[in-house]
C-alpha cells in the first residue's frame, strides 16, 4: 500500500499558544493534545510524541508499551519541575505495519476511517461525558454539546500505569485515516469532517481544509490533524507541511514545544520577540542517565516564548493567565485541574457506590415489604393489606389484598389494640396471621352482638 501523509496544526482563534503536537515519522503517525498550566501542555504533548517515536520500525507490538513509557516520562519530568506539575496529554497514534494500521489511544483525540464515503470513528473518547453516554445517563447528542465534555478520565501524565486502547484496522486502497485533536471534532460536525475528508484531492489538502473548517467554526481550541491516504503501490509520500510540523526526537526533551521544527502558520512575525527566544531559564537539564535530553538540534522558534505568556486552561473552570517572567507565582493550574479531576473521579466513585447501595437497599426493602401483612380499613370495611401501613414520598408501601364484609366502625371500639385500625394495625409476618386477626374480630363482634341481644331479650 502506498501512503500519502498530510498534516497541519494550528493554534486556533482563541488560544494564546498551541499545546497540541503531531508526529509524522513513517511508519508512525500521531497527534497529542497537551494540558497543564503555563507551558506544561506544550511540554507534555511534545514529550509524549518524542518518547513514542522511539518505538522503532516494525515493532508495532511495542506501541502500547511505548505509550506507557511516554506516560512515565511525563510523570518523571513533571516531578522534577514544579512549573510542569500536573501537565498531561492525550495521545492517538497509528503505526503502519504492511496494510495494517495499529492504533494506540488515550484521551479524547480521535481516529477516524473514511471508507466508501462513510466516516467511522475508530477510538472512544476517554471523557466523563462519553462514559455518561455509555451508561445511558445522557444521550449521544447531549454528549456532543455537554459543557463538561473536555473533562478527561484518562490521559498521559496522570498516574501509573495508564490503560492504552489498541485497535488494529486493515487498510484498503481508497481509505483515508484521520487523526485529530478535539480542536477539530469539538468544533466541526462529523458530517462536515466526512465531506471535507472525502472531497479533498490529497491528504495535505484534507488536513489544511479541516483546520480551516475548525477555525471558521470559531477555532476555540488548538487544532491538529494528520491524514493518511491509502492507494495501491508502495512507499510513503510525506507532505512537506507534515514533515515540518512533526515533532522530532533529536534528543529533545519536549521543552516548550521547541521540538516542533517550525511554528504553525498562525503566529506573530518571527522576529517580534527574538530576545526572548532562547530556552526559558527554568528548563532544567534532564537527569543524568535519562534517555530524555535537552533540546539540541532544534532551536526554540522565536516568538514561541512570548506567545506562551498566557495560559488558557483546557478544561472548564475558566481562563487563567500566568506571567512567564515569574514562574514561581504561576498558579499550578495543571495541578488544580488534575486535582479537580481526581476529586471528581473520587466523587463519582462515591456517587456510584452510593447509588449501588441505594439500589441494593431498595431491592432489599421491596423484598421485605413482600413479607409483611397488616389489617386496616378499605372503604369502611376491615381489609387485609400486603406491605406496611406507610407511605414514602407519596408512594404507598402497601397494597390491598382482600376486603372483608366487617364494618370497621363496628370492630374498632371492641378492643384497645384495634383502635389504630383506621391507620393500619402493626404488620405481621404472614397472611395467615393477618387472617387470624380478622377471624378474632369477627368472633369478638359476634360475641358482643350475642351478649347485647341476650341483654336486650332478658332486659
In the complex with Mg ion, the residue whose CB is nearer, 221 or 263, is: 221
In the complex with Mg ion, the residue whose CB is nearer, 18 or 85, is: 18
Q: Are 12 and 216 in contact (CB under 8 A)?
A: no
In the complex with Mg ion, the residue whose CB is nearer, 33 or 229, is: 33
Residue 292, classified by CB atoms within 10 Å of its CB into exposed (0-12), middle (13-18) or buried (19+), is: buried
From the CB of 12, what's the least distance to Mg ion, in Å? 9
Could you give the C-alpha distances from 360 to 52, 356, 364, 369, 395, in angstroms and in order?
A: 45, 6, 6, 14, 19
From the CB of 98, what's the least distance to Mg ion, in Å? 32
Ranges within 321-360 binding Mg ion (CB under 5 A): none
From the CB of 264, what's the least distance to Mg ion, in Å? 14
Ranges within 9-48 binding Mg ion (CB under 5 A): 33
Q: Which three cell numbers stand for residue 188?
A: 466541526
* Alpha-helix runs per DSSP H in 150-254: 182-185, 190-199, 203-216, 240-245
In the complex with Mg ion, the residue whose CB is nearer, 54 or 216, is: 216
From the CB of 389, what's the least distance to Mg ion, in Å? 58
In the complex with Mg ion, the residue whose CB is nearer, 106 or 408, is: 106
Ranges within 287-326 binding Mg ion (CB under 5 A): none
From the CB of 151, what's the least distance to Mg ion, in Å? 12
Helix (H, G, I), strand (E, B) or coil at 228: strand
- Does residue 256 belong to the site contacting Mg ion (CB under 5 A)? no
In the complex with Mg ion, the residue whose CB is nearer, 43 or 434, is: 43
Contact with Mg ion (CB under 5 A) among 182, 245, 249, 253: 182
Binding mask 183-222 for Mg ion (x = CB under 5 A): x-------------------------------------x-
> Angle 190-199/203-216 helices, nearest 10 degrees?
150
- Does residue 249 belong to the site contacting Mg ion (CB under 5 A)? no
In the complex with Mg ion, the residue whose CB is nearer, 183 or 387, is: 183
Q: How many C-beta atoms surround the C-beta of residue 8 within 10 A? A: 27
Give the whole-angstrom CA distance, residue 3 versus residue 412: 90
If residue 349 lies in a helix (H) or strand (E), which one and from where to where? helix 333-369
In the complex with Mg ion, the residue whose CB is nearer, 9 or 53, is: 9
From 175-183, 266-274, 417-425, 426-434, give the range in contact with Mg ion by CB under 5 A. 175-183
- Does residue 125 belong to the site contacting Mg ion (CB under 5 A)? no
Give the whole-angstrom CA distance, residue 185 versus residue 189: 7
List all residues 6 or more positions away from 139 whose beta carbon is below 8 Å from its beta carbon: 133
- Does residue 264 belong to the site contacting Mg ion (CB under 5 A)? no
If residue 88 lies in a helix (H) or strand (E), which one and from where to where? strand 88-89
- Does residue 108 belong to the site contacting Mg ion (CB under 5 A)? no
With CB under 5 A as the rule, give the number of residues binding Mg ion: 5
* Half-sphere exposure at residue 417, Cβ-oriented, CA atoms within 13 angstroms: 8
From the CB of 326, what's the least distance to Mg ion, in Å? 27
Query: CA torsion sign, 314 to 315 to 321 to 324?
Result: negative
Binding site for Mg ion (CB under 5 A): 33, 181-183, 221
Amino acid at each position: 500500500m502506498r501512503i500519502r501523509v498530510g498534516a497541519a496544526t494550528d493554534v486556533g482563534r482563541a488560544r494564546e499558544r498551541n499545546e497540541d503536537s503531531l508526529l509524522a515519522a513513517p511508519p508512525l503517525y500521531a497527534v497529542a493534545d497537551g494540558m497543564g498550566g503555563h507551558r506544561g501542555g506544550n511540554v507534555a504533548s511534545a514529550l509524549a510524541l518524542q518518547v513514542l517515536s522511539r518505538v522503532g520500525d516494525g515493532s508495532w507490538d511495542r506501541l502500547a508499551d511505548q505509550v506507557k513509557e511516554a506516560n512515565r516520562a511525563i510523570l518523571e519530568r513533571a516531578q522534577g519541575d514544579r512549573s510542569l506539575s500536573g501537565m498531561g496529554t492525550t495521545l492517538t497514534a497509528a503505526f503502519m505495519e504492511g496494510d495494517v494500521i495499529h492504533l494506540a489511544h488515550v484521551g479524547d483525540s480521535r481516529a477516524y476511517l473514511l471508507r466508501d464515503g462513510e466516516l467511522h470513528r475508530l477510538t472512544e473518547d476517554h471523557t466523563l461525558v462519553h462514559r455518561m453516554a455509555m451508561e445511558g445517563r445522557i444521550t449521544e447528542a447531549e454528549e456532543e454539546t455537554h459543557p463538561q465534555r473536555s473533562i478527561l478520565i484518562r490521559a498521559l501524565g496522570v498516574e501509573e500505569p495508564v490503560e492504552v486502547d489498541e485497535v488494529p484496522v486493515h487498510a484498503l486502497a481508497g481509505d483515508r485515516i484521520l487523526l485529530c485533536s478535539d480542536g477539530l471534532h469539538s468544533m466541526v460536525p462529523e458530517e462536515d469532517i466526512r465531506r471535507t475528508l472525502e472531497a479533498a484531492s490529497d491528504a495535505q489538502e484534507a488536513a489544511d481544509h479541516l483546520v480551516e473548517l475548525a477555525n471558521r467554526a470559531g477555532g476555540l481550541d488548538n487544532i491538529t490533524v494528520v491524514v493518511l491516504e491509502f492507494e495501491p503501490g508502495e512507499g510513503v509520500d510525506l507532505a512537506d507541511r507534515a514533515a515540518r510540523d512533526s515533532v522530532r526526537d533529536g534528543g529533545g526533551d519536549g521543552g516548550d514545544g521547541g521540538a516542533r521544527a517550525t511554528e504553525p502558520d498562525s503566529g506573530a512575525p518571527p522576529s517580534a520577540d527574538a530576545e526572548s527566544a532562547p530556552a526559558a531559564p527554568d528548563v532544567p537539564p534532564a537527569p543524568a542517565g535519562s534517555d530524555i535530553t535537552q533540546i539540541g538540534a532544534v532551536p526554540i522558534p522565536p516568538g514561541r516564548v512570548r506567545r506562551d505568556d498566557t495560559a488558557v486552561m483546557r478544561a472548564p473552570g475558566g481562563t487563567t493567565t500566568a506571567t512567564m517572567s515569574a514562574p514561581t507565582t504561576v498558579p499550578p493550574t495543571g495541578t488544580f485541574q488534575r486535582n479537580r479531576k481526581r476529586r471528581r473521579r473520587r466523587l463519582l466513585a462515591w456517587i456510584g457506590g452510593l447509588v449501588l447501595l441505594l439500589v441494593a437497599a431498595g431491592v432489599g426493602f421491596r423484598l421485605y415489604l413482600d413479607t409483611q401483612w397488616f389489617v386496616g380499613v378499605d372503604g369502611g370495611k376491615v381489609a387485609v393489606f400486603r406491605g406496611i401501613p406507610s407511605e414514602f414520598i407519596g408512594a404507598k408501601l402497601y397494597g390491598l389484598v382482600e376486603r372483608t364484609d366487617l364494618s370497621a366502625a363496628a370492630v374498632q371500639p371492641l378492643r384497645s389494640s384495634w383502635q389504630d385500625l383506621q391507620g393500619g394495625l402493626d404488620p405481621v409476618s404472614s397472611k395467615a396471621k393477618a387472617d387470624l386477626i380478622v377471624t378474632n374480630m369477627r368472633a369478638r363482634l359476634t360475641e358482643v352482638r350475642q351478649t347485647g341481644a341476650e341483654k336486650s331479650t332478658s332486659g
